[in-house]
Chains A and B, each alone.
Chain A
Amino acid sequence: MAEDDPLEPTGIDAGSGRATDHDQYLSVDDVPDIAPTAELSWRTRIIESIPAKRRALKYVVAITIAVLWIVPFIGLFMASIRPLSEIIGGWWHLEGMTVTFENYYRAWNYSTAPMGQALLNTFIVTIPAVLVVMLLGVMAAYPFARFEFPLKTTLFFLILLVMAAPPELIAMGNFNALREFGLFDTYMGLILIHIGWGLGWVVLFLRNYLLGIPEELEEAARIDGASRYQIFRTIILPLSTPALVSVAVIQFTWVWNAFFFPLVFMRSPELYLAPQVLPLMRGRVQVEWGLIAAGSIMTMAVPVLLFLFLERYYKRGMVAAVAD
């Protein structure tokens, strides 16, 4: 039977001898419920976890780069918690180190420009600039992602064009405009400027994200009887939470750290924002490195905390926006 034509299987009788050979097969009961765990002694585990030479080399390089990257931050932090006399010679001398929060305390209440007030001012500008951009952004992005309307491509192109413009040039025009509207040296003016500049990338980012939400979901909702507004509120918004959180974090950092716009549009010292206040802390006789360092750390801390707090949301948003 060995030379059977491959096109002709060997008929029914070929299997008759196999009726009894159960031992060839496993019973379902023999399949373990859980995969077996590898049982290793501590010794072997430790030996296995020590990387091979090439791997070790890669680790060394990576860690070195990471340290180089982080050194300035460490320096800043050290400078902020030590008295000026100790850091004059270099923050890296660790002998006889005294830890003090004096710098933070003084920066917070610094006479010409108290950091406490400046941080509060920055919140006053940043929070509306972020919330309004999110709201307007998603409302503008949705039609770009879903509807057909005249001049859609042209308008979208315009938005991209605005993003490409250099702020330093446009700021001249903004300056004049704010003067004319009487919004110069007001938070309202600064907030509007930030909204204008933020909206471009936010619309682009959210549109790309919304394009990735299956249209079928909205069709299902239409059939279920939902109105356009209900679809937006109960389907689109909840599904775009990750993207909205990403937008919030990035826009927050951007507005919070902005130096150029407040510098151009804010004149009254009592209205100064945190990044503006930092250079004022230099001191008269001697540069007060400790104060500047403490002020910088306080300013930086806010966006960093926000990043950490919202991390699990915006990571998903970024991946989705890039993937589509």
Chain B
Amino acid sequence: MVAITLENVSKYFGETVANYQVNLQVTDGEFLVILGPSGCGKTTALRLIAGLEQPSEGAIYFDDDRVDGRSPSARNIAMVFQNYALYPHMTVAENIGYPLKVRGFSPDERDEKVEDVTSLLHIEDQVEKKPGALSGGQRQRVALARAIVREPTVFLLDEPLSNLDAKLRQEMRSELKRLQNELEITTVYVTHNQEEAMSMSDRVAVMNQGTVQQVAPPQELYDRPRTAWVAQFIGSPPMNLFQGTRRNGSIDLGEAGTVDLSGVLEAKEAVVETSERDDVQSTALLASDTQGTVSLGIRPENLTLASTPPPSGNVIEGRVDTVEPMGEYILVNVSVNDQIVNAKVSDRTVSRGDRVYLTFDTNDAYVYDTNGDLVA
């Protein structure tokens, strides 16, 4: 098992910048998920680690060995492709045995190992079939079996669950996680599904436009999104961001109201001080009474709806636009300054057109500066 390090890795396809100065460390045995919107370069990053592409700039290390330039087979990795890439002319057993066959294992050894993994993944009954005769979930298992059969040191998966239905995806999610725990293989898993990312990963690397935005454990990613972009990417529905003007230690949100910035700052102070970032500057920024625009972020689940203005605290005023009952909760879309704000509530007390007041705890508020960086 190895640790993977990407050092300032960039990949260009002609004029397209697929990856730009990616720095990433995957520790030994870790389950790292690369999460990002479509086209942000996740697959490219994975293929660089696999050796299917060579970086235009930068270096890739497995432990202390520099591996860029080495062929995929010299890296002892296994990869599961999005459409599984099973060999259509071979049976399931031949597919799984193929990596062993080309590496010169004897037929007996091969059969034994194939038997082991097929029983581990519960596909013993399918071994004589061709991939074309299998269901999506079974193909997925065969691809996994082929990947783990020769005990690779790195396990790479490119959106392996995206072709499955919701129930099967749920099942495979826990199975994959269990498998990874058992085998303790360093795993990089690419997805654009944040639920998958949050539930399976040890850490999540959020990518956008070819570069890494934040690498953090799922809970931290949710609790402290480093930039406004990450904040809006994580969570469903995404975090509400209000544009406002800083004035005398508070944020003016126009007609909707004013939020006392010092309250937000105070609540965050403890976190700011303990975090690694150099936040002296941001504290100064908040305390000073220079003018400027900032964004105030609050998650839908942290907003409370009231029909009458509450006596104190931070209040944002708006009008109910639509109400969407989701079963588990009710999503209320409130129009604030022509912007739609999502709030998750548990009872249905408001209806379209009602004037409502949104309140929140200062603990749950985030402030981002004009660059989109978290300041409090």
Contact = CB atoms under 8 A, between A and B. Distances in A.
Contacts of B351: 5, 8
Interface stretch (A65-73, A215-223, A271-279, A286-294): A215-223
Interface stretch (A34-42, A197-205, A224-232): A224-232
B146 interface: yes
A235 interface: yes
B340 to A, nearest CB: 14
Contacts of A11: 348
Contacts of A221: 87, 98, 102
Contacts of B87: 217, 220-221, 235
B99 interface: yes
A223 B77 contact: yes
Interface string B73-104: 10001110101010111000000001100110
Contacts of A217: 85, 87-88
A241 B333 CA distance: 59
Contacts of B51: 223
Given A8-B351, A9-B325, A222 B73 contact: yes
Contact of A224 (B88, B89, B98, B323): B98
A7 interface: yes
Nearest to A216: B85
Interface string B333-365: 000000000000000100110000000000000
Nearest to A235: B87
Given A5-B352, A7-B322, A8-B323, A222 B85 contact: no
A17 interface: no
Contact of A226 (B73, B146, B325): B73
Interface in A178-226: 214, 216-217, 219-226
A224 B146 contact: yes
Interface residues of B, number: 27
A5 to B, nearest CB: 6
A230 B89 contact: no
Interface string B55-76: 0000000000000000111000
A216 B99 contact: no
Interface in A1-48: 5, 7-9, 11
A238 interface: yes
A259 to B, nearest CB: 39
B52 interface: yes
B85 A238 contact: no
Contacts of A226: 73, 98, 102
A239 interface: yes
A102 to B, nearest CB: 50
A222 B72 contact: yes
A217 B99 CA distance: 13
Contact of B103 (A7, A8, A222, A225): A225
A100 interface: no
Contacts of A5: 351-352
A153 interface: no
A219 B89 contact: no
Contacts of A230: 102
Nearest to A220: B85
Given A219-B72, A224-B73, 16 more contacts: A7-B323, A7-B352, A8-B323, A216-B85, A219-B52, A219-B79, A219-B81, A221-B98, A222-B52, A223-B77, A225-B99, A225-B102, A225-B103, A227-B73, A235-B87, A239-B88
15 contacts: A5-B351, A7-B352, A8-B352, A9-B325, A217-B85, A217-B88, A219-B52, A219-B81, A220-B79, A220-B87, A221-B98, A223-B78, A223-B79, A224-B102, A225-B103
